[in-house]
Amino acid sequence: MDETRRDRDVEGRAHNARPRDGLGRPLPYGAPGVERQPEGVVRDPLETVREAQRLLDAGMPFHAHEVFEDAWKSGPDAERELWRGLAQLAVGLTHAARGNATGGARLLRRGAAALEEFATRADASGSGSAPPPYGMRIGALTDWVTELAARVEEPGAPAVDAAAEAPRLRPDD
């Protein structure tokens, strides 16, 4: 296949069919790659969290980002920032694992900022904090971001191991 041509889906939209590695980097056509996440899958929120955690644990944060992106695009408006923030955390980890410290730290912090409202949101009765969304430990995630972003920005810091650095989204998983 001509590698200068953009792949198109059946409706004519651009779609990159090149295989990818575990960090989402495109590989040459015909090279073995990891299975891509299907796009546009509508999952319930707990299923989204479980699938994303499985991918994070496997050292595949780029693919976890795609799972979160599906939830961001298909979920209720009130949760879009939650899923967008989680997608940005996953892609920030992807960049940090690829050795892009500046981009990784920036995306990690942007994701944490999007999650901030979910860490501090009070419940409707005003009697205190609402339970964490879907059992996710948002405060622990933002603490993880702060530590990881600072570490990857240190001069001479190596690329991180995505599987070893994978955050725990829920304490029970």
pLDDT tens string 66-94: 999 999 999 899 999 999 999 999 999 99
Among 7-21, 50-64, 135-149, 153-167, the range scoring the smallest mean pLDDT is 7-21
Residue 10 has what pLDDT?
67
Contact 113, 85 (CB under 8 A): yes
Q: What pLDDT is stored for residue 22 in this prediction?
A: 83
d(CA 79, CA 134): 11
List the domain boundaries for the chain: 45-165
- What pLDDT does 106 receive? 96
Query: pLDDT category, 5, cuts 50, 70, 90?
Result: low
Q: Which of 3.90.550.10, 1.10.3450.10, 2.30.110.10, 3.30.160.40 is the CATH number of 45-165?
A: 1.10.3450.10
pLDDT at position 16: 65
- pLDDT digit string, tens, across residues 130-145: 677 999 989 899 999 9
Is 60 exceeded by the pLDDT of residue 24? yes
- What does the DSSP assignment read for 78-145? GGHHHHHHHHHHHHHHHHHHTT-HHHHHHHHHHHHHHHHHHHHPBPTTSSSBPPPGGG--HHHHHHHH
Three-state DSSP state, 26: strand
* Cα dihedral 93/44/51/132 (nearest 10): 50
